[in-house]
Amino acid sequence: MALSTKTLTTRFGTKFAKETDSDNTKSVVATSASTLYSVEINNAANTANSFVKLYDNVTGSVTVGTTDPDVILKAQASTKVTYQFDQGIAFGTGVILACLTTAGTAGTTGPTSDVAVKLVYD
């Protein structure tokens, strides 16, 4: 797991975060209210689907496999997919990220190989 962030000067979002090894361990993307505009999921290294789960919460309040995600984004096996949200998705508290092999709330198994996730947000 290696989360990096930087500041952008674009029309959609001013911040960029990249998690190079997203898995079942939660990653803190933002610690305050944010608006999410774009998510790119690179699941090319896996032969199974992966599901990026985003939580509108603070890190101590999220238990992967128990806490209901606010957004779930699917990446088909062996593909890269980009989701765009022109109006943005508002997160009132913060943005927490985890990547699992099952959809829904339950499930605690991370992908076998690395899944890279890039986010553009304010």
Domains, the chain: 3-121 (2.60.120)
Exposed/middle/buried for 106, CB within 10 Å: 0-12, 13-18, 19+? exposed
Q: What is the pLDDT of residue 58?
A: 84
Cα-Cα-Cα-Cα torsion 82, 87, 93, 97, nearest 10 degrees, comes to 0
Q: What is the pLDDT along the chain (122 residues), one digit of tens a residue?
A: 567 776 766 566 789 999 999 999 999 999 999 999 999 999 999 999 999 999 999 878 999 999 999 999 999 999 999 999 999 999 999 999 999 999 999 999 999 999 999 999 99
How many C-beta atoms lie closer than 10 Å to residue 2's C-beta? 11
Beta-carbon contacts of 34 under 8 Å, excluding residues fewer than 6 positions away, are: 15, 90, 91, 94, 95, 121, 122
What is the phi/psi pair of residue 59, to 5°?
-55, -40
